[in-house]
Structure 1
Amino acid sequence: MAEIGVVHGRFQILHLKHMEYLLAAKMRCSRLYIGITHPDDLYLGGLEADRHGIRKSDNPLTYLERYEMIHDALVDFGVRREEFEIVPFPITRPEYIFEYAPKDATYFMSVYDSWGEIKCEMLKSMGADVDVLWRKSEEEKGVTGTDVRTAIALGRDWQQMVPRTVYDYILKNGIDQRIKDNAVFTG
């Protein structure tokens, strides 16, 4: 078991597959740092390979909102507060990552696409110890943040896709309406 682990993601709406990733990493370390990528608009679209960070509609939640949702969900799932930290994770400005996350940690990853592979290699090239929890195709990924945001925007049922605390938080803070108001559909 690693002493310190790090995971990262946009968590643009924390869903149950995110929880699977967070909890799988937490089972492998004593203390887990959860890095939130694209913590603000300064980090949107910073790397060409980052196709997720270029549209504001892909990133409707603030850093603080994501922080609070992650915190509440982990505590609700039984993770003790002293066993995790939540930090910014500037993946599009990798030279700053170790200003927020410990370099001597194990960096747990789930890889589904070329962007995941790029991030994995980027962290390795920076000297990070990377442990890939699983590699799956995008078809095997399951629920995504895009799925949740689309369901909200279209008025479909999305409660079963997210932790209970996230569902409550989204409704309490009017984030569902913000997503509906700012939805961008292409096709």
Structure 2
Amino acid sequence: MDEKGVIHGRFQMFHLKHLEYVLAAKMHCKKLYIGITHPDNTFTASSPNDKHGVTRRDNPMTFLERFEMIQGALEDFGVQREEYEIIPFPMNRPEYITQYAPADATYYMSICDEWGEERYQILKNLNLNVEVLWRRTEAERGITASEVRTCIEKGENWQQLVPRTVYEYVLSHGIDQRIREYAKKGFATAEEL
């Protein structure tokens, strides 16, 4: 078992596949650092493969909201608070990644698309120890945050796609209304963040 592990994602709706990823990584290490990419609107996409990193519609939640959603879900699943940290993860500025995450950790990844392959190479180029937990095709990846947000936009049932605590958090903080508002306004550029 590794002493320290790191994962990363936008988590722009922390759903059950994200939880699967977090828990799989946690099984490999004593302490897990959960990196949130695009932590604020200065960290926008830097690659054409990062298709969801630039619009307000794709990034409706703040760093703090994502932090609290992840923390609530992990608490509900019995992960002890001292076993993980939640940190910013500036994927678009890789030279700063080890300002937030330990360089001597194992960086666990789930790869399902070209952007995943590119991120893998970025981390390898930083001489970090990267371990791929699984590679899946886009068809095999399962639910995505984009799909969850689309369900919310259309007023469809999405409760079964996210941890219970995330569903409650989204409703209690009006994030579902924000997602529908952003979709209605058609936000499409980083400047609108």
Shorter-normalised TM range: over 0.9
* 1:163 and 2:163 aligned: yes
Query: Displacement, 1:56?
Result: 1.3
Q: 1:140 to 1:118 in 2, by over 3 A?
A: same
Query: Displacement, 1:50?
Result: 1.8
Matches within 5 A, 1:40-79: 40-79=40-79
Matches within 5 A, 1:36-185: 36-183=36-183, 184=186
**Aligned with 1:152: secondary structure?**
helix
* Counterparts of 2:82 and 2:35, CA distance in 1: 16
* Counterparts of 1:122 and 1:68, CA distance in 2: 28
- State the Cα RMSD in Å: 1.2
How many residue pairs get aligned? The number is 186
TM-score by length of 1: 0.97
* Counterparts of 2:43 and 2:187, CA distance in 1: 23
* Counterparts of 1:37 and 1:185, CA distance in 2: 20
Deviation string for 1:106-131 (max 9, x for gaps)? Answer: 00000001110010011011011000
Query: Displacement, 1:45?
Result: 2.1
* Counterparts of 1:136 and 1:151, CA distance in 2: 23
Unaligned 5+ residue runs, structure 2?
189-193
Higher relative contact order (CA 8 A, sep 6+): 2
Question: Would you identify which runs of 4 or more consecutive aligned residues in structure 1 move more than 6 Å?
Answer: none
Answer yes or no: is the 8 Å Cα contact 2:55–2:187 preserved in 1.
Answer: no
Unaligned 5+ residue runs, structure 1?
none
* Counterparts of 1:49 and 1:76, CA distance in 2: 34
TM-score by length of 2: 0.94
**Aligned with 1:58: secondary structure?**
coil
